Structure 1
Amino acid sequence: MIGGAIGQGMLVGTLAAPLILLVACLSGRLRRHALALAPFAPLPGLAAALLAIGGPPLTFALPALRLGLLLDAPGAMLLAVAALLWIGGGVYAFRDLRGKPKAELFAVGWLLTLTGSLGVFIAADLLTFYFVYALVSIPAFVLVAHDDDAAAARAGGVYMAFTVLGETFLLMGFVLLAAGEPSGSLAIRDVMAALPGSPWRDAALTLTVLGFGLKIALVPMHGWMPLAYSAAPIPAAAVLSGAAVKAGVIGLIRFLPLGAALPGWGETLAAIGLFSAFYGVAIGVTQQNPKTVLAYSSISQMGVIAAVLGMGLAAGDRSAALDAAFYGAHHVIVKGALFLAVGVAAASSRRRLWLALAPALVLALSLGGLPLTGGALAKLAVKTQLGGGPVGALAAFSAAGTTLLMLHFLRRLAGAASQDAEAAAPAGLIAPWLAMALAAVLVPWLLYPRMGGHIADALTPYALWEGLWPVLIGAALALLLQRWGDRLPRPPAGDIIGIGEDAFRKSFVIGAALERADGEIRQWPAAAVSLLVLAIVFGAAMMIRL
């Protein structure tokens, strides 16, 4: 009973701790210390996750408020690593932004986004989930558009446009999910149990997949991500790319009916995911900014997770939820750490760059599945879902592509070193970077047995070779890229966003021409009368049809 009470207390504290700090920010004097206190806000979430991993789910409910919290194995795994990243990112943010303009506003946006980022892993009903999902999405605008420059303003605008669109899809999807539950319950378990037989099933699935697909940047809904991560300050990019984007992953885990085999839906999602995996690599290798390269890597990795969940949905396999969660947990901590490495590299001279490059090399190759790294465990965890057929083969080649992309990232990281020969990254930046890098190496090995995996399976000669050959192919491709990469096109960050903006700007020309034509026509009485007659006839025809 005591253990359960402590677990429930930590579950409530996951949301309460950052919200209490936000209330404290109403005081100008306390607001100045918000960044210093921010690393402590995720601690209850970390404690709750550690109590729930490998044990029974933690639950807490307030029926009068229709508030429900639930922490199961997939949620606990993602919550644990997300909380770790928010702690490390918070320490880095305090040192990086302390005393700078708008630091207090950044702290408020940080705490709001943190609340939502951790809350999505414990929400048990539609209302709670939608509320915390909005928190992880909308306040992040403050983090993306923090810098006062044109790039940040553009990235913030694009980010908000995609965010509002995704929220709209999700709201409509949730309405249909609720409509399909005959007893009126809003509990996620109940609405998902009723979904396979709901008359709104296909519409609800379409809208929710679109909403979460926007969040994890599945192609072609991906353009916001490279712009946002490139513009955001380093600590913000770290937590957004690692932790916040997993709101979309847990959304798919929660709102895909994985227990019901839907081959058409599952195979379609897997195809979109695999296309995103290769697309992210293809565009990422053309980018020069290391933050932008990491953003395209996230598009690719989220595509793999979508493929895993898609194949699980096609087979009606509930275990896909935990497999995808473990793969996502590895990505959380590795990708967040690599963004911190970009900041350390930029503050270091070339002779001190090894503090960023040496650990980053291990983490980068881990994303490609290098044997004896956490990435090898992540690839092993999803192997059953992806299978040994064409999907499994494509996933293996996507690992080669990831290796290629991450070696390209390391080259760009080396090029980001400070030109000052005496520059040295402050200890306040190096410490959280090295701590997160160490956690990225160790934590997957601690989590894997908790999800029922066996470490020995990753150490067999067959498993070692399966992990090694894609890395070798990726390394060979990286050598070719280094030699002939200058011949590749250079699409801008966000790629399709630029095309859309060009079309939008051209529409101004068309609109201006139509407005001039309208002005000329209005000056011609006969034309004006004709337009009025046509309008009346058209309206009458519509009335008759109705």
Structure 2
Amino acid sequence: MTGAAVLAALAHAAGSFGPGLLAAAVGTPVAILAACAISRGRRRSPALMVLAPLPALAAALLAGFGAPFSYKSRAFDVTLALDAPGAMLLGAAALLWIGAAFYAGADGRGGDGDGRFRASWLLTLMGSLGVFVASDLLTFFLAFALVSLPAYGLIIADDNASRRAGAVYMAFTVAGETLLLMGFVLLAAGEPNGSLQIRDVVAALPGSPWGGAALALVVAGFVMKIGLAPLHGWMPLAYTAAPLPAAAVLSGAAVKAGVIGLIRFLPFSHALPAWGEGLAILGLFSAFYGVALGITQTNPKTILAYSSVSQMGVIAAVAGMGLASGDLRAPLDTAFYAAHHVLVKGALFLAIGACAAAGARRHWLAFLPAAALALSLAGLPFTGGALAKLAVKGTLGSGAIGALASFSAAGTTLLMLHFLFRLARNPSPDRGARTSGQLLSAWFAMALASILAPWLLFPLTGGHLSDALTPAALRESLWPMLPGAALALPLWRWGGRLPHPPAGDIVVIGEKIIRASYGAGAALERVEAGIRQWPAAAMALLGIAIILGAAMATGF
């Protein structure tokens, strides 16, 4: 069969089976949740959780290698569609959810007696997959809420100590969704024909009288979701508190709801230099801030959380530069970079438990793939990370933004070597560190998928694999890593002298300020009560207030 015949067959299959797969992608988690209401379904729930993302994976494969397709519900006002960027992220997210569910089952989670974890998992899964296929404002907002709100149950799954992290997460989540809802209202108001389709409201955005306000609100909502500094405080707390399989899907897949939001709602067809460059600068600030805070941490989960703050910054910089230049290739390039992060970051969280489960004698079996994946985030040659860096090189450009983004690989190298150092010394702080052959199998399968999938996806971006294997490309991937590797040695030796801010640095500072304000408020009340007991002092205070008011009124 010729290549043209294969493409024609895939296009036909997409038109025939694609709409049904889209409906199944978002409906299967709900159906499984309903099945778990009966005892037989609860007993089989770990296996069912593994199967839940399979329709989404099938839809992603069909759209990625075939043609875009859509689905419109006759019973509900819901429209779903899948294009190349959405398919890339949907497929990567589905793979991660499958691997993490397999790991969770091996870890004893989601079974008959773990109903809250199971329900939170399936509802978050529904939202995580739904955001990549939603094509209208209402459906997108509902999916975005589902990927965000039920995740609270995953964060607090282990103990009461994690409830603080859950509360902080919910505060940021509600704030972000409030901003997003206001932005969606303005987007809908600016569409002259009353359409709620995302493509229509975004096309109308440049000419809308509320365009600037709508764009600001929407970007702020998505920036909060992806955890760019200084709106990142929830991320280290949540990922550190969540059990390993939950941290894997939250850091890898769920946070990409903000990435697909930027891809869907930024008007890339209209160059907006000020908006784009502003987003890129914020992203690069987050990229370096995440590294600076990450190297002060000792918990491997917290280090990975700050790595996400950094990597989400690079992704935001790519999207921002695409918006600044009106680059229509930016959505696909951003999606590929983010898809690589989905798989690798999720696998690295699972590696924490796998290294502990392997034991001292087999520790290297889990550690060596983890090391390759960690350095892949920095762009190590011959890895998917090198392909991701190559994919976004043109979008970032050759100016200052591009140079800083390239140099951020040095910081990522330093942070990932620090993670590997801590992983070797403190494999897992979680209860999921028990030895399990099934757990190790889940980890190895996820690691293999993380290594191979970027090589299969890269040609879909229009690139050629041979481009990443030229001597020039290999040098360009390697040189930014060398300064980071050189800094790792003094960090390992003298890193103990660095300050050690707590996880969620900004949140902790805010909490201290609030507690101090409570104390100051109480002190002021005591002072006020004392003043009231002295009429002369009270009259003097009133006289000072009158004098100051008169002075301001007369211009002195």
TM interval, shorter chain, is over 0.9
Match for residue 11 of structure 1 among 22, 34, 43: 22
Letter in 2 for 1:249: V
Separation in structure 2 between the aligned mates of residue 399 and residue 175 of structure 1, nearest angstrom: 39
The answer on 1:482 being equivalent to 2:492 is: yes
Structure 1, unaligned stretches of length 5 or more?
532-546
Contact map agreement 1:112 1:135 (CA 8 A) in 2? yes
Instruction: Give the RMSD, CA atoms, in angstroms.
Output: 2.2
* Helix, strand or coil at the partner of 2:315: helix
Indicate how the Cα distance of structure 1 residues 2 and 398 shifts in structure 2: closer, same or farther if over 3 A, else same: closer
Separation in structure 2 between the aligned mates of residue 108 and residue 25 of structure 1, nearest angstrom: 9
Match of 1:314 in 2: 324
Letter in 1 for 2:503: A
Alignment of 1:21-420 (within 5 A): 21-62=32-73, 65-98=76-109, 103-150=114-161, 152-417=162-427
Cα displacement string for residues 159-185 of structure 1 (whole angstroms, at most 9, x for unaligned residues): 000000001000000000000001110
Indicate how the Cα distance of structure 1 residues 514 and 30 shifts in structure 2: closer, same or farther if over 3 A, else same: farther
Which range is displaced more, 333-342 or 390-399? 390-399
Indicate how the Cα distance of structure 1 residues 211 and 139 shifts in structure 2: closer, same or farther if over 3 A, else same: same
Aligned residue-pair number: 527
Letter in 2 for 1:11: L
Cα displacement string for residues 440-480 of structure 1 (whole angstroms, at most 9, x for unaligned residues): 11000000012211111111111010001112222111112
Which range is displaced more, 34-43 or 2-11? 2-11
Letter in 2 for 1:404: L
Separation in structure 2 between the aligned mates of residue 418 and residue 67 of structure 1, nearest angstrom: 43
Separation in structure 2 between the aligned mates of residue 460 and residue 344 of structure 1, nearest angstrom: 35
Separation in structure 2 between the aligned mates of residue 4 and residue 179 of structure 1, nearest angstrom: 33
How does the TM-score come out when normalised to structure 2? 0.91
Separation in structure 1 between the aligned mates of residue 138 and residue 110 of structure 2, nearest angstrom: 38
How does the TM-score come out when normalised to structure 1? 0.93
Separation in structure 2 between the aligned mates of residue 117 and residue 99 of structure 1, nearest angstrom: 18
Contact map agreement 1:277 1:398 (CA 8 A) in 2? yes
* TM-fit CA distance, 1:279: 0.5
Structure 2, unaligned stretches of length 5 or more?
1-11, 542-556
Letter in 1 for 2:71: F
Which range is displaced more, 482-491 or 77-86? 482-491
Separation in structure 2 between the aligned mates of residue 61 and residue 319 of structure 1, nearest angstrom: 27
* Helix, strand or coil at the partner of 1:66: coil
Contact map agreement 2:353 2:427 (CA 8 A) in 1? no
Contact map agreement 1:46 1:79 (CA 8 A) in 2? yes
Letter in 1 for 2:312: M
Separation in structure 1 between the aligned mates of residue 110 and residue 309 of structure 2, nearest angstrom: 34
Which range is displaced more, 480-489 or 456-465? 480-489
Indicate how the Cα distance of structure 1 residues 179 and 365 shifts in structure 2: closer, same or farther if over 3 A, else same: same
Contact map agreement 2:183 2:214 (CA 8 A) in 1? yes
The answer on 1:446 being equivalent to 2:463 is: no
* TM-fit CA distance, 1:33: 3.1
The answer on 1:433 being equivalent to 2:443 is: yes
Separation in structure 2 between the aligned mates of residue 291 and residue 229 of structure 1, nearest angstrom: 7
Which range is displaced more, 25-34 or 214-223? 25-34
Match of 2:8 in 1: none
Separation in structure 1 between the aligned mates of residue 241 and residue 453 of structure 2, nearest angstrom: 29
Contact map agreement 1:373 1:441 (CA 8 A) in 2? yes
Match of 2:473 in 1: 463
Letter in 2 for 1:34: S
Cα displacement string for residues 45-93 of structure 1 (whole angstroms, at most 9, x for unaligned residues): 0000000004321101136632110100000000001000000000011
Contact map agreement 1:341 1:356 (CA 8 A) in 2? yes
* TM-fit CA distance, 1:187: 0.2
Separation in structure 1 between the aligned mates of residue 112 and residue 241 of structure 2, nearest angstrom: 16
Contact map agreement 2:53 2:94 (CA 8 A) in 1? yes
Contact map agreement 2:198 2:264 (CA 8 A) in 1? yes
Separation in structure 2 between the aligned mates of residue 258 and residue 520 of structure 1, nearest angstrom: 62
Separation in structure 2 between the aligned mates of residue 315 and residue 470 of structure 1, nearest angstrom: 25
Separation in structure 2 between the aligned mates of residue 145 and residue 99 of structure 1, nearest angstrom: 14
* Helix, strand or coil at the partner of 1:349: helix
Contact map agreement 1:195 1:257 (CA 8 A) in 2? yes
Contact map agreement 1:323 1:382 (CA 8 A) in 2? yes
Separation in structure 1 between the aligned mates of residue 304 and residue 435 of structure 2, nearest angstrom: 21
Letter in 1 for 2:392: V
Contact map agreement 2:277 2:324 (CA 8 A) in 1? yes
Match of 2:4 in 1: none
* TM-fit CA distance, 1:514: 4.1
Letter in 2 for 1:163: T
* TM-fit CA distance, 1:524: 9.3
* TM-fit CA distance, 1:298: 0.6
Contact map agreement 1:146 1:233 (CA 8 A) in 2? yes
Contact map agreement 1:32 1:104 (CA 8 A) in 2? no
Indicate how the Cα distance of structure 1 residues 526 and 187 shifts in structure 2: closer, same or farther if over 3 A, else same: farther
Letter in 1 for 2:365: L
* TM-fit CA distance, 1:20: 0.5
* TM-fit CA distance, 1:513: 3.1
Which range is displaced more, 466-475 or 263-272? 466-475
Letter in 2 for 1:363: L
